[in-house]
Structure 1
Amino acid sequence: MTNATNVPPRPGASVWRFIQEQRVWLASAAILLLLVIFDPAQSAESAVFAAAALAHTAPYLLFSIAVAAWAGATGADNLVAKAFTGKPLLMIALGALAGGLSPFCSCGVIPLIAALLAMGVPLSAVMAFWLASPIMDPSMFFLTAGVLGIEFAVAKTAAAVGLGLFGGLVVHLLNQGGALQDALRDGVGNGGCGGAKMRAPKPVVWRFWTEAERRAKFAGTAWTTTLFLAKWLLLAFILESLMLAWIPAETVTSALGGEGLLPIITATLVGVPAYLNGYAALPLVGGLIEQGMAPGAGLAFLVAGGVTSIPAAMAVWALARPQVFALYLGLSLTGAFSVGLLFQLWHAV
């Protein structure tokens, strides 16, 4: 019998393997190439938009990449992972609060999420932070208060924390029931090296640069993390530029007028696929509320659109398996509708 290791690769296998490994980079290149052919002006605008967005996100990326590489090289990721063990409900609460009050945007939180998952932090706590973070931050709070009023700003903050708690608890219960045991993609978090580190912790070496192996670990982690984040963010920003260019914000928000339950449902469903920049959406929603749109519909739209923005949603897709991505969208829909309905009932009292 012929040994399987001696069987020559099939023709085209190496090409197919290359396509599979580089499919995200190739997708970005294909989109830009098609734009160059069919819409040259938009190709330039999308390229500039993506470059500017990456530059804006760079400080978050560099800091988080450095932290992840340092944690891996020193072994400090063991300490972080151990801090999240044995206290799932407390970690969910802390994750939701940190997400709702942190200054991270939906783009800046991606490398932090990747680092937490790589350290073996439970998915329930990470999901709580993941859901809450894109909705509100300190600058967004003050801008929301100025445009829509302090009541709306407080409601949006409460919605962020509440959605984080809701999502974290759902993931925790699913884990308790045996689901989502293999929720992350290979090599990420509990599905890869993170879980092993928690099971077999090693001593922390703070002065990692004194050992060649740890210096190599630092460089290797920094490089692979940079490539991973860069390819997904580039594709996300290109797609975001196309949505902003081809789906005007006014067209999206004009469909959300009216009173009753239907506008809240519509706002939730429209907010999921139609991402609006959180700052740009505020005056548009404010104008519609002045024209009679239900406040609950406005809040549902802002929450659903924030959680499922292209960068945030693609981060989930890149790091987690499809079932977790579907759960993320389901939690976003349910949570956005619930907070919109509760806010509308509050106004009706």
Structure 2
Amino acid sequence: MTDTTLSSPGLRTTLRHIWQDQRVWLASALILAALALFDPTQATDSATFAGRALLGTAPFLILSIAIAAWAGATGADNLIARAFTGAPLLMIGLGALAGGVSPFCSCGVIPLIAALLAMGVPLSAVMAFWLASPIMDPSMFVLTTGVLGLEFAIAKTVAAVGLGIFGGLVVLVLSRGGALADPLRDGIGNGGCGGSKVRTPGPVVWRFWDEPERRAKFGKTAMTTTLFLAKWLTLAFILESLMLAWIPAETVTASLGGEGLAPIALATLVGVPAYLNGYAALPLVGGLIGQGMAPGAGMSFLVAGGVTSIPAAMAVWALARPQVFALYIALSLTGAFASGLLFQFWTVT
């Protein structure tokens, strides 16, 4: 092979794509290798944790991947996209409500978000679901009621739906101004086809397996989506295991005591990088509230932590363009702080 061949633009592009595809797997492998060298026990624990987490989310992954591949192969994605173009305000409200009762965590919701955006569903409706989903689900509501009381559980549910509606409306306004036209990164789904456009409708072929081209499209979409989600979720779960092992939950929550606006603001900021499993966080927050922590600070911490923890943020970063990621973080921070303030005001009046 000559130097000219090695320096050709086509080969450089191919090598760049290979590097981009493999660097996430390489990062996961390097982390586990370093742990195996310096802390073999933690290496085993992290690998086991990631494996179990992937198995736990597998039903949602498989369903979302199958839906995305099926919609693309049959052409039904055009119909789904068109169904979300009639009444954006209604779609935002329904998306937020659906997110508030769905059993998805902040990472587990990513496959469904990818499928919806790839189908052309407007980003405003998707963002409403995206923001609301990790905060509350039926089992979380029951546990929150048992640990923090029915009032707190209802308020957290209202916060989830409210954050979803708020985020959806902000995205709708920005989209009407011409922003956020292509929310997905290149190579994800069809490269981005958000709310500003719906692809030209084509014929829907429900029995797609009868046509070789559609069968091939189904297989290619399923494989590409599976590999993409697997590599990013694996890395996210490995990092989650390290945060749970090396950052005691008590250390994180102990800094949130006190009253006034400062604890609420601090709780919002701490909730972003500090991953706490939502179920594990409840008794800790409950204990601190019993010791005098402002209830609003507990609310803002749980909302911010559920939506913008580092593993979840990594998954969003991998899926969405930088401007969408920045908006996601900004909406989460604003919504978590507002939720804490409103709940604090409610509890003292």
Q: Could you tell me the TM-score, scaled by structure 2's length?
A: 0.94
SS in 2 for 1:8: helix
Aligned to 1:167: 167
- Give 1:260 shift: 1.1
Matches within 5 A, 1:115-134: 115-134=115-134
Q: Summarize deviations over 1:304-327 as a string: whole Å, max 9, x none.
A: 000012343222111111121111
Q: 1:8 aligns with which of 5, 10, 16?
A: 5
In the alignment, is the contact (CA less than 8 A) between 2:184 and 2:193 conserved in 1? no
Aligned to 2:23: 23
Aligned to 2:329: 329
Q: Which stretch shows the higher mean deviation, 333-342 or 38-47? A: 38-47
Q: Which stretch shows the higher mean deviation, 208-217 or 250-259? A: 208-217
* Residue 293 (str. 1) matches residue 293 (str. 2): yes
Q: Summarize deviations over 1:318-338 as a string: whole Å, max 9, x none.
A: 111112111111111111000
Aligned to 1:176: 176
| CA–CA distance in structure 2, aligned partners of residues 190 and 172 of structure 1 | 21
Aligned to 2:39: 39
Q: Which stretch shows the higher mean deviation, 102-111 or 242-251? A: 102-111
Aligned to 1:242: 242
* Residue 75 (str. 1) matches residue 75 (str. 2): yes
* Residue 202 (str. 1) matches residue 202 (str. 2): yes
Work out the number of aligned pairs and report it: 344
Q: Summarize deviations over 1:235-260 as a string: whole Å, max 9, x none.
A: 10001011111111010001111111
| CA–CA distance in structure 1, aligned partners of residues 338 and 197 of structure 2 | 38
- Give 1:190 shift: 7.4
- Structure 1: unaligned runs, 5 residues or longer: 1-5
| CA–CA distance in structure 2, aligned partners of residues 222 and 16 of structure 1 | 23
In the alignment, is the contact (CA less than 8 A) between 1:69 and 1:217 conserved in 2? yes
Q: Summarize deviations over 1:100-142 as a string: whole Å, max 9, x none.
A: 1112222321111110011011111111110000000000001
Question: What is the one-letter code of the residue matched to 2:335?
Answer: G
Q: Could you tell me the TM-score, scaled by structure 1's length?
A: 0.94
In the alignment, is the contact (CA less than 8 A) between 1:185 and 1:191 conserved in 2? yes
Question: What is the one-letter code of the residue matched to 1:110?
Answer: I
In the alignment, is the contact (CA less than 8 A) between 2:181 and 2:194 conserved in 1? no
In the alignment, is the contact (CA less than 8 A) between 1:74 and 1:208 conserved in 2? yes
SS in 2 for 1:22: helix
Aligned to 1:150: 150
Matches within 5 A, 1:268-283: 268-283=268-283
- Give 1:183 shift: 3.1
Aligned to 2:65: 65
- Structure 2: unaligned runs, 5 residues or longer: none
Identity %: 78
- Give 1:202 shift: 0.9
Question: What is the one-letter code of the residue matched to 1:8?
Answer: T
In the alignment, is the contact (CA less than 8 A) between 2:183 and 2:193 conserved in 1? no
| CA–CA distance in structure 2, aligned partners of residues 293 and 35 of structure 1 | 36
Aligned to 1:3: none
- Give 1:7 shift: 4.9
| CA–CA distance in structure 2, aligned partners of residues 65 and 196 of structure 1 | 24
